[in-house]
Structure formats: C-alpha cells, structure tokens
Amino acid sequence: MSGFLQALLNPAVPFVRNALIGSVLAAFLFGVLGSLVTVRRIAGLAGAISHTVLGGIGLALFLASRGAPKWISPMLGALVFAILAALTISVVSLKAKQREDTVINALWAIGMSLGVVFLAKTPGYADPMSYLFGNILLVTSGDLYLLAALNVIVIALVARYYRHIEAASFDEEFAATKGVPVTAIYLGLLLIIAIAIVLLQTFVGIVMVIAMLTLPAGTAGYFSRNLAGMMIHATILSLVFSVSGLAVSWTFDLPAGAVIVLLSGAVFLAFSIGNMLSKRSKRKADQQTGLEGSA
C-alpha cells in the first residue's frame, strides 16, 4: 500500500489523485442512486440503460471516423442513447407495464449489438473493453467537474424532495392519493440514473456500473432502518470499496473496476450468508421453543 500512497503524493502522476477524487465523488452517486434503484427494484432498468450506452459510444466513434464534427463525442453518443433508453422504458412502464421486461431485454440486447457493429466498422482499433470495464486511471479533470456537478444536483434534489421520494419508493399508489407526483419522480429518477451511468462508466465500465449501483446498497439494506440511513450507509460502503479497491489494484497491478466490484460482491455475499444463517438459527430456536412448550 505504501506504493499507492507514494503515487498519490507524486506530482508527476496526477492521474492517481484524479482517480482517488473520482472514487470519492462516485461513491456518493452509487450510495444515493443505488439505494433508490434497490428499494424500487429497478436494477433491470438501470442495467438496460447502462448496456444501451455502448450503442451510442459505437455510433459516435463511427461518425467521428467518417468526418463528423468534433463535438460528436463518445460521451455525447452515450448520453443520447441513455436518455432515449430511459424515456422508452418509462413510457412502456407507465403505459403497458406487462411488456416492461420485454422492452428492457430488447434495449439491453439491441444497444450492445449496435455498439459492437459500429465499433467493428470503425476504421482503426476501437477497443470495446475500455468502455465495457472502464479504467478509473483515465479519469480527467473535466470528468471530475461533471461528477461533482451531478453530485450537487442529486444531493440537492434528494434533500429537497426526500419525503416525496420516500413515499413514492415504498408505495406508489398510496403516495399518488396523497398528491405525490409519482410519475414525475419516476421519470426524473430514470433520467438522472441515465446521466449518472454515462459519467460512471468511465469509473467501472458499462458492465460493472450496475453492480456498484446495487451491491453497496444491497449490503446497507441489511442493517439500515429507513431510506435515508440506507443512502448514508451505502455511500460509506461505496467509499470504502472504491478507495480500498483502487489501492489494492494499484499495489498488485490489477484492473481497478474489477477489484472494486469484487470487494463489494464479497462483502455483500458475506452479509447475505450471515443473514441467511441467522434466520435459520432463529427459526430452529423458535421451533425448539415451540416443542418444549407443547411438551
């Protein structure tokens, strides 16, 4: 770990400090948005949006190779596809919920396939692995400013509309009868998730971003009493996983995104197994008490 600390203090390698700052900023998004994704059980929707992004990246690279304006960047292409996917899913979910799974799976497959086709037809070498699995060491100062701005927006919106968000997350029908704009909250959440996915795919990649939107929040769910506590705990866990994963990956020369997700997954599995064993032990104890009482 000393090598990682030395790299942080070395002015010749600013990308390591950028990666650390990016880890901290991403942790807030993973914690807050991940809690909403987990509570509302829309991990599949977020997964579809994240995989559709590859289509926009591939199209942007393909157009750039054909002389398109420089402002048509992979990030812009990813953002357009992510927003279109979010709007499509929200419309189908609100109008024809029974077809939601079909549309989610279709967007997932079509987005990935389009990305592969466009990348294959792009002259030169376009490596999809960097987009699929990410590389936090490539995070730029511009990425950090965008992440910071999105953090401010997300935290401000959650703080301002927390009661409405909480009500809509646990019981939409009851919240609607109380005048909560559940449709607007649902659409806004999907759009913010879409934007966050585009920025965070640089951090852990398209494939792994969905894991970080669910694992820390899923772990926090085992010991959190309410949505606010879940957000706080998930953010802390995301911060621990991100920073420690970055340090481990640097020390042992491993892919940072994969290490971060593996740490998150290991802790989640540990809590899941512990919770399962605890419930089994409690069930046996209750049965034993019942037998003794009947005797």
Rounded to the nearest integer, the mean pLDDT of the chain is 87
Question: How would you write the pLDDT of the chain (295 residues) with one tens digit per residue?
Answer: 677 888 888 888 888 898 899 889 999 999 999 999 999 988 888 888 988 998 999 999 899 888 888 888 888 999 999 999 999 888 888 776 657 788 888 888 999 899 889 988 888 766 677 777 777 877 888 889 999 999 999 999 999 999 999 999 988 888 999 899 999 999 999 999 999 998 888 666 777 788 899 999 999 999 999 999 999 999 999 999 999 999 998 889 888 888 898 999 999 999 999 999 988 888 887 777 766 665 5
DSSP sequence for 156-210: HHHHHSHHHHHHHHH-HHHHHHTT--HHHHHHHHHHHHHHHHHHHHHHHHHHHHH
Query: What pLDDT score does 37 carry?
Result: 93
Residue 17 identity: R
Query: What pLDDT score does 35 carry?
Result: 96
Tell me the C-alpha distance between 79 and 33, whole Å: 17
DSSP H or E run through 291 = helix 256-294
Cβ(35)–Cβ(156) under 8 Å? Answer: no
CATH architecture of 2-294: Orthogonal Bundle (1.10)
Q: What is the 3-state secondary structure (H, E, C) of 22-88?
A: HHHHHHHHHHHHHHHHHHHCCHHHHHHHHHHHHHHHHHHHHHHHCCCCCCCCHHHHHHHHHHHHHHH
- What residue spans of 213-255 are helical by DSSP H? 215-220, 227-252
Residue whose pair of structure tokens reads 């997954």 in the numeric block = 265
Query: What pLDDT score does 178 carry?
Result: 87
> Per residue in 189-239, pLDDT tens?
999 999 999 888 866 677 778 889 999 999 999 999 999 999 999 999 999
23 vs 90, 144, 218, 278, CA distance in Å?
30, 10, 19, 33
CA torsion through residues 218, 224, 228, 234, sign? negative
